[in-house]
Amino acid sequence: MRLLEQIGVAAMRQIDPELAHGLAIKALNAGLGPKDGPYSSDRLRTNLAGLDLPNPVGLAAGFDKNATALHALSGCGFGFLEVGAATPRAQVGNPKPRLFRLKQDQAAINRFGFNNQGMDVIAARLSARPKGVIGLNLGANKDSDDKAADFAKVLTACGAYLDFATVNVSSPNTEKLRDLQGKAALAALLNGVMEANAALKKPVKVFLKIAPDLDEAAFDDVAEVADASGIDALIATNTTLDRIGLNGPHAAQTGGLSGQPLFEKSTKVLAQLSSRTKLPIVGVGGVGSAEQAFEKIRAGASAVQLYTALVYGGISLADDIVRELEVLLAKAGFATVADAVGTGRSDYL
């Protein structure tokens, strides 16, 4: 299976990246992906904000925007899944082309703009979800008069089928969305989301996903607001607007950069936040190996997520990382993932 997957990945990289992404989803739903489910052990099992995970390696939002492949993805080795982003109303997103591979950098640039089929369609799919820990990335419509209110609307529509919901105010591809990371605006937004969450029959865990392009003062503000809001965890980080050191013909494309060039920057942000708050943090940005997952954990992450690395390593990469991470934890003398969290934070401060 792995040889066939490698051939398929190589073939996919020869066609338009957004088309390839759609074909990858179809292939998974046709049964061409792994089926064993998440690998786990006493060393790998961990807790994230009260959620019991079989292992700490999750799938980041954006891969399965419309929750069309949940059952297939549940067999691919991830300890948890995040789908979306979902907005109240369906929207087509930004004009194509809007996804670009940077093969030389093992990276990607996207400017999708929250393209999705809307919260009602996504909620219907989530209602038939498989077992496991599943979350939804909450977004806002591009033409919304009240973007802050959109997050609460999506949570109200979909919350009954979730284990966690992520407030995404950090995508660079929706105009003025990142303005909601300001202290007062963020506090008001999170207050609305937490009110909507409290109104659910069974409230879910609420996470906040932040941008890597923040200054020191903004770190302080995010940590202060997050701690006061009652949310359960942070996700560090979303894509970056930086283009430092990139190669290849698409390096100047507008949009959010993900993949290997983001690893160091996102890990520094993770460590900075970890030193400012006691909230658990999910580390995302440039994770493409067990060594990088382990480094995120040691920098302060209770769990990690990946997405762009799958473009180059295939869907089986998740299981490879999980199994190799277990070996790294053992070699370093850690009996559990939790024992390793934050042990290398000082390297990034």
**Residue pLDDT, tens place only, 144-195:** 999 989 999 999 999 999 999 999 987 777 766 667 777 888 999 999 999 9
- pLDDT at position 144 is 94
- At residue 236, the 3 state secondary structure works out as strand
Residue 309, beta-bridge partner list: none
**Measured on CA atoms in the order 304, 309, 315, 319, is the torsion positive or negative?**
negative
Q: Which of these is catalytic: 74, 170, 171, 229? A: 171
Average pLDDT of the residues of the chain: 95
Sequence-ordered strand ranges (E) for 103-230? 107-110, 134-138, 164-168, 205-210
C-alpha span between 72 and 233 (Å, rounded) = 27
Beta-sheet pairing, 46-48 with 51-53:
antiparallel
pLDDT (average), residues 62-68: 98
User: By mean pLDDT, which of 106-115, 163-172, 223-232 is the weakest?
Assistant: 163-172
Please provide the DSSP assignment of 266-320 as one string: HHHHHHHHHTT--S-EEEESS--SHHHHHHHHHHT-SEEEESHHHHHH-TTHHHH
Residue 264's domain comprises: 2-348
When pLDDT is averaged across residues 248-274 and rounded to a whole number, the result is: 95
pTM above 0.75?
yes
For residues 301-319, give the mean pLDDT. 97
| Tens-digit pLDDT profile for residues 70-86 | 999 999 999 999 999 99
Provide φ and ψ at 180, rounded to 5°: -75, -5
pLDDT of residue 175: 67
Report the domain count for the chain: 1
| Alpha-carbon distance values, 122 to 58, 130, 147, 306, 319 (Å) | 20, 14, 19, 22, 27
pLDDT confidence tier of residue 4, bands split at 50, 70 and 90 = confident
Does the annotation count 170 as an active-site position?
no
What whole-number distance in Å separates Cα of residue 20 and Cα of residue 27?
10
pLDDT at 271 > cutoff 80: yes
- Residue 85, classed as helix, strand or coil, is strand
pLDDT band at 1 (very low <50, low <70, confident <90, very high): low
Q: What is the pLDDT of residue 3?
A: 74
Look up the CATH number of the domain holding residue 262: 3.20.20.70
pLDDT in tens, 187-227: 999 999 999 999 999 999 999 999 999 888 888 999 999 99
Whether residue 52 has pLDDT greater than 80: yes
Q: Which is more confidently placed, 248 or 125?
A: 125
CA 51 to chain centre: 16
pLDDT score at 171? 78
Question: What is the average pLDDT across 30-41?
Answer: 95
What pLDDT shows up at residue 178? 66
CA dihedral 3, 5, 11, 14 (to 10 degrees): -120
**Looking at residue 156, what is its pLDDT?**
98
pLDDT of residue 305: 98
